[in-house]
Amino acid sequence: MKATALTRAYRRRAPGEPRAIGYVYILPALIVYAAFLLYPFGQSVWLSSQHWDGLTVATPAGFDNYRALFSDASLRAPFLHALLLLVFYAALPVAIGLLLAALMSRARIRGMTFFRTVLFLPQVLALIVVGVAWRSILAPDGLLNDALRAVGLGGLARPWLGDYTWALPAVGVVGTWVGTGLCMVLFLAGVQRIPRELYEAARMDGAGPLREFLTVTLPGLRPQIAVALTLTIVAGLRNFDLIYITTSGGPGNATSVPAYEVYHRAFETNQVGSAAAVGVALTVLIFVLTVTVSRLVEGRRA
């Protein structure tokens, strides 16, 4: 019978499941994606298995370039720096963004749009501009040190970007400044989507602001937190411009990060294979971290 044939056809494939024809629709995008992303990435993977100076014939390196990532301290350090910077580039912006969103969503603040714009502004600026501006703020007689001296804390003044202990946190603070606005705007949008009834119910049960935040706002923001963390982690790990402009990895190698190391090795020291290995390792690291974040924070979708 006709009807059974139809049901059988449906049973074969769950409703909404893609059909082969779907691939044709995405083919143009796929070709572009393959040509400009997958193919170069494959090239990088292949280059990372070679010793190549960029000019003469490459020689096979096997896993040498990857082994060096673990055995060579000058390659290990950038990854450690990057992970430490994630505190500033991802954890702090999300935490501060949550705090700001919680405050702003509770209190009706006059000129809210203005504050939102100001806090979001760093996202819009080119990182080059951000770097140049902060370089002068953090200079030995820059704005920050002047301010410290003006309030009698001159003892704390130091050449922030040239100080072995403080250079990494100083660059980190710039990242926090950049990332916070994005997180806040994401969370504010998320808060507005949480049903008002939940807040009313919580209040009727006698929840204070903190309780309300923990039981209603935070769980309601899970998808936004996952997005914010993913974006900030990726931005933090591929951070190149800020380092290049503010410290060039210095003092010593105290602020070198993988993304800077890729550029440095490929263009300045003719170690293309090693640069490719750093790049591939960085890609893997970003992949692992973002998958972990979406699993942990967003939770598995049923």
Buried b (16+ CB within 10 A) or exposed e, 100-134: bbbebbeeeeeeeeeebeebeebeeeebeebbeeb
Q: Do 127 and 242 meet the contact criterion of CB atoms below 8 Å apart?
A: yes
Of these, 82, 98, 130, 138, which contacts other proteins (CB under 8 A)? 138
Of these, 84, 95, 149, 241, which contacts other proteins (CB under 8 A)? 241
Q: Do 81 and 256 meet the contact criterion of CB atoms below 8 Å apart?
A: yes
Piece in contact with other proteins (CB under 8 A), picked from 25-33, 93-101, 229-237, 251-259: 251-259
Nearer to other proteins, 223 or 251 (CB): 251
Piece in contact with other proteins (CB under 8 A), picked from 80-88, 181-189, 267-275, 282-290: 267-275
Piece in contact with other proteins (CB under 8 A), picked from 3-11, 173-181, 248-256, 290-298: 248-256
- Structure-token pair, residue 257: 């990060």
Question: x/- string (CB under 8 A) for other proteins, residues 19-58?
Answer: -----------------x--xx--xx--x--x-xxxxxxx
Of these, 25, 33, 114, 267, which contacts other proteins (CB under 8 A)? 267
Of these, 251, 290, 294, 298, which contacts other proteins (CB under 8 A)? 251
Report the alpha-carbon distance of residue 80 to residue 30 in Å, rounded.
35
Query: CA 201: distance to chain centroid?
Result: 36
Query: CA 231: distance to chain centroid?
Result: 4
Q: Do 239 and 85 meet the contact criterion of CB atoms below 8 Å apart?
A: yes
Report the alpha-carbon distance of residue 178 to residue 133 in Å, rounded.
12
- Check residue 286 for interaction with other proteins (CB under 8 A): no
- Check residue 237 for interaction with other proteins (CB under 8 A): no
- Check residue 248 for interaction with other proteins (CB under 8 A): yes
Q: Which of residues 102-131 bind other proteins (CB under 8 A)?
A: 128, 131
In sequence order, which residues have a C-beta less than 8 Å from that of residue 229 and are 6 or more positions away? Answer: 90, 94, 293, 297
Report the alpha-carbon distance of residue 9 to residue 101 in Å, rounded.
49
Of these, 24, 26, 121, 132, which contacts other proteins (CB under 8 A)? 132
Report the alpha-carbon distance of residue 123 to residue 279 in Å, rounded.
25
SS3 category, 162: helix
Task: Calculate ∠ Cα 296-299-301, nearest 5°.
Answer: 150
The dihedrals phi and psi of 266, each to the nearest 5 degrees, come to -70, -40
Q: Which of residues 142-201 bind other proteins (CB under 8 A)?
A: 158-164
Nearer to other proteins, 163 or 298 (CB): 163
- Check residue 71 for interaction with other proteins (CB under 8 A): no
- Which residues would be at the binding site for other proteins (CB under 8 A)? 36, 39-40, 43-44, 47, 50, 52-58, 128, 131-132, 135, 138-141, 158-164, 240-241, 244-245, 247-253, 259, 262-263, 266-270, 272, 275-276, 279
